[in-house]
Structures are given as structure tokens and as C-alpha cells.
Amino acid sequence: MKERILVKATELFMRYGIRSITMDEIAAQLGISKKTIYQFYADKDEVVDAVIGEEIKQNEEECIHFRNDSEDAVHEVLMATVEMEEMLKGMNPLIMYDLEKHHPRTFKRFKDFKQQFLFTAIKGNLKRGIEEGAYREEIDIEIVTRYRIESIFMVFNPDIFPHNRYRIHDVLNEIAYLFLYGITTSKGRKLMEKYMQQHTKNNKHGMYE
């Protein structure tokens, strides 16, 4: 039952945002009483924390997978971009605003994930790309890492990209391509072109292969 509650809450939060979904709504969707939810979760804050905790865990596992299974650093970035694009297609972009505004404890947990795990993963990708000759060796790794993290999450900011004017996954892709074109060598750009052509050819699979 605890797992069922978590799955349903995740589905509802992702589709409609966090603020608009109540414990009553989660219970109604599951066909159970709100009292049953409280047997497993003390309040909505705890449900939100569990949902975001699971999302963070999955993201960490995916980052490790992309690192291990990619052909090179450019491939790693493009694989991660496609995976995030698929996730964003079913996500309400207001979820980040709701998290920051109404669930500060869990938002801090998310910020820690960005500043620690994600920072290390992106920094590792940059070092890998330089070693492989795909990224320019003169880039400042610390600065570019911080830029990359913030540019990824910029897509959620409605002041910059109003959600009624821009499709969030289109913004994500454009930012990823700009990032790569800015740091790649001629070798890296050739790799980009190769993977993008493969992706266009095999687009039904939704992955850079």
C-alpha cells in the first residue's frame, strides 16, 4: 500500500504540480480513505519528500548508467538529454516552483542533489571529454559545471520561458546543443553530428545509440 500511494502521488504531482494535489485527491484516486495514507505518511510534506527522494535516486542511477554505457563524453550528454526530454513531456513545469515555495525542506534536499551529485557527474563528464579530445582543454571546468547545472534547470523558470509559449523539452534540447557546441572541439562536433544523425534515423527508439 505504501508503494501504491507513492506511485499515485508521483503520477499526480508530475501531471498537475504539487500544490494543487491534496491528500484527499490522492486517497480518492486510489479508492482508499485519507486515514489509510496517514498510516504510512504523517502529512503531505512527507509524501512530497518520499516522491522527490525516489526521483533523486532514479536520476542518480540514470547518470551512472549514462556514464558507464556511453561511447564517449558527448554521447553521455546526449543520452541524458533524451532521457530528461522524455521525463519532461509528462511533467508539469510548475513542480519546481511548488517545491521551493511550499516544501522548503525537500527543496533543500533537491538543491543538495544538484550541488553535490549532479555537480560531480557533470564535472566528471567535462574531464572525460577533455581527455578524449572532444572538449576544449582550455575551458574552466568549475565555471562550466556550474553554468551547465543552472542552464538545465532554467527550463523550469516561467519568467524566462513562459510555459504557454515554449515547450519545455524543446528548450531543454536547444540549451543542451548550445552547451555542447560551446565546449566541443572539431572532433567533438563530429561526434555530435554522428549521434544526432543516428538519433534522427532511429528516433522511434527515443535514444542516441
Q: Measured between alpha carbons, how far is 137 from 180 in angstroms, rounded to an integer?
A: 14
> What is the pLDDT tens value at each position of the chain, 209 positions in all?
999 999 999 999 999 999 999 999 999 999 999 999 999 999 999 999 999 999 999 999 999 999 999 999 999 999 999 888 877 777 887 888 899 999 999 999 999 999 999 999 999 999 999 999 999 999 999 999 999 999 998 888 888 998 889 888 889 989 999 999 999 999 999 999 999 888 777 665 444 44
Neighbours of 136 (CB within 10 A): 14
CATH code where residue 130 lies: 1.10.357.10
Within-domain flag for 80 = yes
Q: Measured between alpha carbons, how far is 195 from 192 in angstroms, rounded to an integer?
A: 5
Within-domain flag for 29 = no
Report the C-alpha dihedral over residues 35, 39, 44, 48, rounded to 10 degrees. Answer: -140
Query: pTM for the whole thing?
Result: 0.86
Amino acid at site 4:
R
Q: What is the pLDDT of residue 38?
A: 96
Class of residue 26 by CB neighbours under 10 A (exposed 0-12, middle 13-18, buried 19+): buried
Total count of domains within the chain: 1
User: Is the distance from CB of 121 to CB of 144 less than 8 angstroms?
Assistant: no
Report angle CA 96, 98, 100 to the nearest 5 degrees: 70
Q: Measured between alpha carbons, how far is 88 from 170 in angstroms, rounded to an integer?
A: 10
Residue ranges making up the domain that contains 73: 44-205
Q: What is the pLDDT of residue 94?
A: 83
Q: What is the pLDDT of residue 117?
A: 95
Within-domain flag for 19 = no
Within-domain flag for 20 = no
Within-domain flag for 18 = no
Q: List the one residue out of 176, 182, 132 whose CA is nearest residue 152.
A: 176
